[in-house]
Amino acid sequence: MSKDTSEERTLLIVEDDRPFRERLARAMEARGFTVTIAENVAQGVTRAKESPPAFAVVDLKLEDGNGLDVVEMLHSTRRDARVVVLTGFGNIATAVAAVKYGAIDYLPKPADADDILAALLAAPGGKPKPPENPMSADRVRWEHIQRVYELCGHNVSETARRLNMHRRTLQRILAKRSPR
């Protein structure tokens, strides 16, 4: 039987951006956590099997695959683990997938240590505070288009048909970076 997460402060950080990973590890150690790090899915899965932590911060897109594989492994070895998923490529579909795999929160990068700590230690079932910088209407539109595009298997013509949009207009939107 595993310890209660409120008493145990073990943290696994799975992140392929080395400077960010090291900075976050130092910040979380300063906040009382015993930190273990991994830089890819394979290392994250190994660490989750060897010594399942009470908390984890996992990047969604890693060089060797999807961070949700680490989240899934962690929850199969420790059901009460509290996992926060980070990503620089956020959209609604991946946020939903992260929660289905067992993440308690989903934060866009760059997230600072205080935001991550608040997410990790938030009361289960508690309502999060409203965002300081909510998504713009352009960003919400872009997120919706990205979700439909993913659901259509990255088929531009099918996505354009479902969104009632000209295919070339959709291609221009998809070629641009996400709005803030």
pLDDT tens profile 139-170: 778 878 887 888 898 899 999 999 999 999 99
Whether residue 2 lies inside any domain: the answer is: no
Distance from C-alpha of 89 to C-alpha of 178, rounded to nearest angstrom: 9
Backbone phi, psi, residue 142, to 5° = -60, -45
Q: What's the start-to-end Cα distance of the chain, in Å? A: 44
Whether 98 and 158 share a structural domain: no
Question: Nearest Cα to 148, choosing from 174, 169, 168?
Answer: 174
Q: What is the pTM of this model?
A: 0.70
Q: What is the mean pLDDT of residues 27-53?
A: 94
Whether 73 and 157 share a structural domain: no
Whether 86 and 164 share a structural domain: no
Whether 18 and 90 share a structural domain: yes
Question: Which range marks the domain in which residue 71 is found?
Answer: 10-121
Whether 59 and 35 share a structural domain: yes
Please report the pLDDT score of residue 4 as a whole number.
47
pLDDT over threshold 80, residue 15? yes
Whether 141 and 165 share a structural domain: yes
Whether 43 and 90 share a structural domain: yes
| pLDDT tier at 65, thresholds 50, 70, 90 | confident
Whether 160 and 100 share a structural domain: no
Contacts 24+ apart (CB under 8 A), 130-138: 136/179, 136/180, 138/179
Whether residue 3 lies inside any domain: the answer is: no
Whether residue 143 lies inside any domain: the answer is: yes
Whether 112 and 147 share a structural domain: no
Whether residue 1 lies inside any domain: the answer is: no
Q: Is 7 exposed, middle or buried (0-12, 13-18, 19+ CB in 10 A)?
A: exposed
Whether 80 and 146 share a structural domain: no
Whether 82 and 143 share a structural domain: no
**How many residues are there in the chain?**
180
pLDDT over threshold 60, residue 1? no
CATH number for the domain that contains residue 102: 3.40.50.2300
Whether 17 and 45 share a structural domain: yes
Distance from C-alpha of 106 to C-alpha of 58, rounded to nearest angstrom: 10
Q: What is the mean pLDDT of residues 16-43?
A: 93
Domain count, the chain: 2
